[in-house]
Amino acid sequence: MSELLNAMAASMQADMNRVNTVAHNIANSNTTGYKRLFTLGGDVQAGALADGRQGAMSRTGSDLDLAIEGPGYFSAQDNGGAYLSRGGALRLDSRGRLVLAQSGMPLEGEQGEIFLQPGAFRVADDGQVFQKELAVARIKLVYPAKDARLEAAGNGLYRVSGAMVDPKDLGGPGRLRQGFLEMSNVNSTREMVELMEATRHFESVQKAVQGMDAVWDKALRSLGEF
């Protein structure tokens, strides 16, 4: 009896985790570069896997907007550690550093932080950054393994646990497109369907637990009459 109740409790917890993940996806359906998260068997204790499918490209025409076509993530670091992002909306801070617009974290280049002079700049598809046709930096892309687990950290950032791999293992390196942003790959309609399925399953298991509890209570009352 206790084993069955434990199994039902675990099932309900998995449904709750699934609901929380779906709700997070829906909340980020308009976040640029956001990758839909999903759980394996409802387990989100070690983070979630990210759906690596490409989001739609939106042309902005701004030099400060970058999209990654193909695999790979931008890298950013602060005192709290290393983070990954697919959100390529950038800005220059007061020091002339190229930073992620949402979080203000400096975008990592192959040689560290990227500093630019005032004025136009160009980003080639391999990440080389040019000012006045002089190469001044190269944007760093990193490549988590397909089974790496990502933890959403807000502002379009992820913490990652798992190995980094050579881009050849993922079909080749990602290519940068300046003047574009990648949209979220969340399908809101699909997420709503999954939310309803998880909610209904939770309610059905909850009713079963309540029914067993009523049977158990009746049995105890009957025994007390003897």
Task: Please say if the pLDDT value at position 40 is more than 70.
Answer: no
Q: How confident is the model at residue 215 (pLDDT cuts 50, 70, 90)?
A: low
Residue with tokens 């998880």: 198
Residues 6+ apart with CB under 8 A from 199: 15, 19
31-40, 44-53, 86-95, range with the lowest pLDDT: 44-53
**Looking at the structure, do residues 52 and 143 belong to the same domain, yes or no?**
yes
Q: How confident is the model at residue 15 (pLDDT cuts 50, 70, 90)?
A: confident
**Looking at the structure, do residues 125 and 204 belong to the same domain, yes or no?**
no
pLDDT digits (tens, 9 = 90+) for 173-199: 999 999 999 999 999 898 988 888 888
**Looking at the structure, do residues 60 and 104 belong to the same domain, yes or no?**
yes
> What is the per-residue DSSP string for 48-81?
BEE--PPPPEEE---TTBEEEESS-EEEEEETTE
**Looking at the structure, do residues 128 and 160 belong to the same domain, yes or no?**
yes
Amino acid at 217: D
Residues 6+ apart with CB under 8 A from 164: 142, 143, 144, 145, 148
Q: What's the CA gap between 140 and 84, in Å, rounded? A: 11
pTM over cut 0.85:
no
Residues 6+ apart with CB under 8 A from 105: 76, 77, 78, 83, 99, 157
**Looking at the structure, do residues 178 and 202 belong to the same domain, yes or no?**
no
For the ranges 28-37, 77-86, 116-125, the one whose mean pLDDT is highest = 116-125
Residues spanned by the domain of 20: 1-29+187-226
Q: What's the CA gap between 31 and 156, in Å, rounded? A: 7
Q: How confident is the model at residue 168 (pLDDT cuts 50, 70, 90)?
A: very high
Average pLDDT over residues 27-34: 90
Q: What is the mean pLDDT of the chain?
A: 86
**Looking at the structure, do residues 16 and 124 belong to the same domain, yes or no?**
no
Number of separate domains in the chain? 2
pLDDT digits (tens, 9 = 90+) for 84-105: 999 999 999 999 999 999 899 9
**Looking at the structure, do residues 153 and 102 belong to the same domain, yes or no?**
yes
**Looking at the structure, do residues 51 and 160 belong to the same domain, yes or no?**
yes
**Looking at the structure, do residues 81 and 161 belong to the same domain, yes or no?**
yes
**Looking at the structure, do residues 58 and 149 belong to the same domain, yes or no?**
yes
Query: Which of these three, 185, 200, 215, is where a domain ends?
Result: 185
**For the chain, percent of residues with pLDDT exceeding 70:** 88
Q: Which long-range contacts (CB under 8 A, 24 or more apart) does 108-113 make?
A: 108/74, 108/75, 108/76, 108/77, 108/139, 108/140, 109/137, 109/138, 109/139, 109/140, 110/137, 110/138, 110/139, 110/140, 111/137, 111/138
